[in-house]
Structure 1
Amino acid sequence: MQTFHLDAISQDRQTLAEPYHEFLRTRDMSAGVYHMEPGSHDPQGAHQEDVLFYVIRGAATLRVGDDELEVGAGSIVHVPARVAPRFVAVAEAIDVLVVFAPAESAPTIEVKYTA
């Protein structure tokens, strides 16, 4: 068993000065905290794994494939593997718990969509 505290994970992320900080990796899953400020660009593409986003705080518009939805504290979104998620408009600074299953095997893959 492992336990984590959000404040410590967030402090580690700030110290590293990176928007995403992975704090857990096993063979079957990985988890991290993703932070974005208003006006920042989200470089995500499609991942090879299923992704679960849990919005801890903040508000944004999340584009998943061709769909867009407003997310805020308490929102939970599952994104299937090979579907591109991207935060396209951050209304207030956002912190998101991100869980990959199986463990993330970065880099992301680009998926082309046709209408």
Structure 2
Amino acid sequence: MEIIKGTGVWAHPGEGDSDWVEQLRTSDLSVGTYCIPVGGRDAQSPHRVDEIYVVTAGRAKIVTPDRTAMVGPGAVIFMRAGEEHRFTDVSEDLALLVVFGPAFGSRMPER
């Protein structure tokens, strides 16, 4: 067993508009925290692995080519590999617990 400390906890990004910190990696999955401050910009590209977001703090919109939804604490979002998505209109500092399966970047280099 491993207790992963700090996962999903808000931490003000350093330089830039967002911050991703990977806190666990195995061959089958990776877990980390993604934070975007109020008014920040989400500049991520689609990933080549499946992804689950759990909103632990904050509020924003998540936008895909097919749908837009408001999300807040407790929301769980599944994104298929390759699906374009972006968080916009961050109205409260956003902290997300993120789970990638298999591990982030393990299929091919991320863009």
1:107 aligns with 2:107: no
Which has the larger helix fraction? 1
Q: Which runs of 5+ in 2 are unaligned?
A: none
Instruction: Indicate the residue corresponding to 2:68 in structure 1.
Output: 68
1:30 aligns with 2:30: yes
Deviation at 1:10, TM superposition (A): 4.3
CA distance in 1, matches of 2:61, 2:97: 16
Letter in 2 for 1:80: R
Letter in 1 for 2:84: A
After the TM superposition, which parts of structure 1 deviate over 2 Å for at least 4 consecutive aligned residues? none
Instruction: Indicate the residue corresponding to 1:111 in structure 2.
Output: none
Deviation at 1:47, TM superposition (A): 0.5
Residues 5-37 of structure 1: CA deviation (Å, up to 9, x unaligned)? 237x748x55x8361110010000001101111
Instruction: Indicate the residue corresponding to 1:94 in structure 2.
Output: 94
CA distance in 1, matches of 2:94, 2:9: 12
CA distance in 1, matches of 2:65, 2:3: 33
Q: Which runs of 5+ in 1 are unaligned?
A: 109-115
Q: TM-score, normalised by structure 1?
A: 0.81
1:52 aligns with 2:52: yes
Identity of aligned residues (%): 31
